[in-house]
Amino acid sequence: MKKNIFILLVLLLWQPLLHAELTIEITEGVEGALPIAVSPFAWQGKGSPPEDIAAVINADLQRSGRFKTLPREDMLARPGTVEEIEFKDWRALDVENLVVGQIQSNGAGGYQIQFQLLDVFRGEQLTGYSIPTTAPNLRSTAHRIADLIYEKLLGVPGAFSTRVAYITSVKQPEGETRIDLNIADADGYNPETIVSSSEPLMSPAWSPDGLKIAYVSFEGGRSAIYVQEVYTGKRQKVTAYKGINGAPAWSPDGRKLAMTLSKDGNPDIFVYDLITRKLQPIARHYAIDTEPAWSPDGRSIVFTSDRGGKPQIYRVSAFGGKAQRITFQNSYNARASFSPDGEMLTLVTREEGKYRIAVQDLESGVMQVLSQGSLDESPSFAPNGSMVIYASKAGYRGVLAAVSVDGRVRQRLALQEGDVREPVWSPIKQ
């Protein structure tokens, strides 16, 4: 009996960790996705392999919606090397591309992973690498391999080695709500809480080098902007003026933060130089000006303003000046950010009373609504520009969702309990 109670206690203590786990499901895939098979990697060592590398690669490719992966049970053989491949068997299964690989211990607690990507119809190698890694990095090496395969076959870099930052809100048994800022691998694995608070946390933003996150915290009963080093936990309070300190956005060179401050009486856009600590006003108006975002070339900033009566997106030089309205479709457009190539914006638009995620082509001004919810918010592009990640509601719960820019692939990322919101994709590792 005592033992049972102990086990129960241990389970209860583990509960919060379990809650942080994200699960991803594909809700809609692309027709004509590229057929590919990832054969289980051959393990050259004692016991069972330390990680199912092929399964991680397979899940990444499948989750992108761009690939139709062959289930293992449908494979006629499971070759670990090129010599073992019978190409005609794979042709018979309509598989166009095949991945084979090996993993071996390199003695010093590390591993060597080799893989080859093959064109099944030509029977030739498209690419192949041998990558050294360590036990804690096996999954991230698998994501890197998935990135290499994705780029080779689709011509754009993969975004599988990236991470996602997000906010969770979980009601505690004592009635308090705990707000956490978390980061997890792009496939939902390895979630870590980097800030935990009983007061609201919001608006996380990755620095361009992926090493820092800026965010807003209400600890102490008022808002302040913090910058925290992701891997050391060291943080710095950047601004804590009277009123709103919000919406931090990094300049592409990582030197400045655009932000919203209401210290002068109402929300205005400022640029704060992190080195000189100088504050420069960019957009000032008695209306609400907020949600700044930089263009990838660093030359201009878009922001939300209701100076015309309703919130719309405006564009201004990164050094200030006259702002120009750039959204005209629908009466509510807010929280715009640029695609990595600078040609598109993703934003929140209100259509027939529903708040949805849209993309707008900057040159033509044409807007396309991508999401299907009624309370969708916080959109941002994946670092390779392929998907837009955003927050949505499923029943009573906040969930994360991603949709491809053409609207054809949809994913949903859900927590086991509580709300998850404000997702932001990290930059691609250099």
Partner 1 sequence: MNKVLILWAPMLLSLLLMAGCTSTPTSEAGAEVSEQSTGADGADGASGGEAATSAASQGGEWYGDPLENPNSLLATRVIYFDFDQSTVRSDYLDVIQAHADYLAANPQVVVRLEGHADEKGTREYNLGLGENRANAVRNLMLAQGVSDNQLVVVSYGEERPAAFEHNDESWALNRRVELIY
**In the bound complex, what is the minimum distance in angstroms from residue 156's beta carbon to partner 1?**
29
**Pick from 246, 383, 385, 418: which binds partner 1 (CB under 8 A)?**
246
Distance set, CA 235 to CA 101, 213, 227, 416 (Å): 42, 9, 6, 29
Number of neighbouring beta carbons within 10 Å of residue 339: 20
Residue 189 or 218: which CB sits closer to partner 1?
A: 218
How many chain residues bind partner 1 (CB under 8 A)?
A: 34
Distance set, CA 245 to CA 132, 315, 377 (Å): 44, 21, 20
Tell me how far the alpha carbon of residue 347 is from its chain's centroid: 16
Find the helix or strand (DSSP H, E) in which 357 lies: strand 354-361
Residue 36 or 399: which CB sits closer to partner 1?
A: 399
Binding mask 84-123 for partner 1 (x = CB under 8 A): ----------------------------------------
**Pick from 188, 311, 385, 427: which binds partner 1 (CB under 8 A)?**
311
Find the helix or strand (DSSP H, E) in which 57 lies: helix 53-63
Residue 231 or 286: which CB sits closer to partner 1?
A: 286
CA-nearest of 66, 69, 88 to 77 is 88
Considering the rule CB under 8 A, would residue 256 count as an interface residue with partner 1?
no
Q: Reading across the β-sheet that carries 312-317, which strands appear in turn?
A: 289-294, 300-305, 312-317, 324-325
Residue 117 or 216: which CB sits closer to partner 1?
A: 216
Binding mask 170-209 for partner 1 (x = CB under 8 A): ------------------------------x-xx------
Considering the rule CB under 8 A, would residue 260 count as an interface residue with partner 1?
yes
**Pick from 38, 227, 247, 424: which binds partner 1 (CB under 8 A)?**
247
Degrees to nearest 5, angle at CA 301 with 299 and 302: 145
CA-nearest of 203, 297, 206, 184 to 259 is 203
**Pick from 157, 332, 362, 412: which binds partner 1 (CB under 8 A)?**
332
Considering the rule CB under 8 A, would residue 267 count as an interface residue with partner 1?
yes
Binding mask 217-236 for partner 1 (x = CB under 8 A): -x--xxx-------------
Q: Phi/psi of residue 150, each to 5°?
A: -60, -45
Which amino acid is present at 268?
A: D
**Contacting range for partner 1; rule: CB under 8 A; set: 225-233, 244-252, 381-389, 406-414:** 244-252
- Quote the DSSP letter at residue 250: E
**Contacting range for partner 1; rule: CB under 8 A; set: 90-98, 130-138, 232-240, 283-291:** 283-291
**Which residues have CB under 8 Å from 399's CB, separation 6+?**
391, 392, 393, 412, 413, 414, 415, 420
Residue 173 or 221: which CB sits closer to partner 1?
A: 221
Binders of partner 1 in range 343-402 (CB under 8 A): 348, 350, 355, 375, 377-378, 393, 396
Which conformational region is residue 87 in: left (phi greater than 0), alpha (psi within -120 to 50 degrees), or beta? alpha
Residues that bind partner 1 (CB under 8 A): 200, 202-203, 218, 221-223, 243-244, 246-247, 260, 262, 265-267, 288, 290-291, 304, 306, 311, 332, 334-335, 348, 350, 355, 375, 377-378, 393, 396, 422
